């Protein structure tokens, strides 16, 4: 009888945990806070990706450039929620915190990622790369990945897909930071979608 009660209790506990897991699309962070994964979708730019939102996640901002040099169309910036809340504390002329950014460029010359990165070093940071760039595939698009140094160290991915080049950069101060850990999963979640007016 005792064995049957223990077995039933175990099944109930496992079932309860299973139910909670299916009802919450969350990841527990080191701070004990929950961050929900959400999807950013932009059919104008032809991209979507998943990122952590909430108190221990990120806030997304879009910026349209005042100067469209090099064909820059839009910049998507992911700031840690905590950093966004403390923006007022940054002194005038001071450096902001590390971010994850996605610069979207028109690729009118249909360049491959390496050729584009070599000719647009002001955006790719290829001149500050540490070691060789590795070939990769991101969201089905041809890409390169490399590390670079500067004000902040960064991981960089340059992807050519359709009519655009996407430069995805994750800046970090130390290798164990949340932003460094979150960069890889974000890049792996990138999906390219038909742009507005394009047929499926």
By mean pLDDT, which of 19-28, 35-44, 100-109, 113-122 is the weakest? Answer: 19-28
**Residue 88, pLDDT score:** 73
- For residues 155-175, give the mean pLDDT: 94
* Spatial distance between the Cα atoms of 74 and 189, rounded to a whole number of angstroms: 20
Is 23's pLDDT higher than 60? no
Query: Residue 119 falls within a domain, yes or no?
Result: yes
Q: Which domain holds residue 148?
A: 34-192
What band does 24 get if pLDDT is binned at 50, 70 and 90?
Answer: very low
Query: Residue 70 falls within a domain, yes or no?
Result: yes
| pTM of the predicted protein model | 0.79
Is 20's pLDDT higher than 50? no
Q: Who wins on pLDDT, 162 or 20?
A: 162
For 112, half-sphere exposure in the C-beta direction (CA atoms, 13 angstrom radius) is 7
Nearest to 183 by CA among 156, 148, 143: 156
Is 19's pLDDT higher than 90? no
Query: Residue 39 falls within a domain, yes or no?
Result: yes
The total number of structural domains that make up the chain:
1
User: Is the distance from CB of 77 to CB of 101 less than 8 angstroms?
Assistant: yes
pLDDT tens digits for 25-83?
Answer: 444 444 444 558 999 999 999 999 999 999 989 999 999 988 777 799 999 999 999 98
pLDDT tens digits for 80-94?
Answer: 999 898 877 766 666
First-last CA distance in the chain: 60
Report the chain's mean pLDDT, rounded to a whole number: 83
Query: Residue 86 falls within a domain, yes or no?
Result: yes
Query: Residue 186 falls within a domain, yes or no?
Result: yes
Q: Kindly report the CATH number assigned to the domain that includes residue 100.
A: 3.40.1000.10
Query: Residue 10 falls within a domain, yes or no?
Result: no
Query: Residue 48 falls within a domain, yes or no?
Result: yes
What band does 128 get if pLDDT is binned at 50, 70 and 90?
Answer: confident
**Residue 22, pLDDT score:** 40
Nearest to 169 by CA among 36, 41, 76: 76
Structural tokens at position 73? 């169309």
Query: Residue 149 falls within a domain, yes or no?
Result: yes
What band does 157 get if pLDDT is binned at 50, 70 and 90?
Answer: very high
């Amino acid at each position: 009888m005792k064995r049957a009660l223990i077995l039933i209790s175990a099944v109930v506990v496992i079932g309860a945990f299973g139910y909670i897991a299916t009802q919450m699309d969350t990841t527990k962070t080191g701070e004990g806070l929950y961050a929900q994964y959400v999807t950013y979708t932009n059919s104008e730019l032809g991209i979507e990706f998943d990122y952590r939102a909430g108190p221990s996640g990120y806030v997304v901002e879009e910026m349209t450039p005042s100067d469209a040099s090099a064909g820059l169309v839009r910049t998507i910036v992911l700031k840690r929620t905590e950093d966004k809340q403390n923006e007022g504390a940054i002194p005038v002329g001071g450096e902001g915190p590390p971010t994850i950014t996605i610069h979207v460029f028109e690729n009118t010359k249909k360049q491959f990622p390496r050729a584009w990165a070599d000719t647009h070093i002001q955006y790719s940071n290829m001149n500050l790369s540490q070691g060789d760039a590795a070939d990769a595939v991101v969201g089905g698009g041809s890409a390169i990945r490399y590390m670079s140094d500067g004000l902040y160290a960064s991981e960089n991915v340059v992807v050519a897909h359709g009519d655009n080049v996407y430069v995805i950069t994750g800046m970090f101060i130390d290798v164990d930071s949340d932003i460094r850990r979150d960069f890889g999963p974000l890049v792996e979640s990138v999906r390219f979608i038909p742009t507005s007016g394009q047929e499926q």
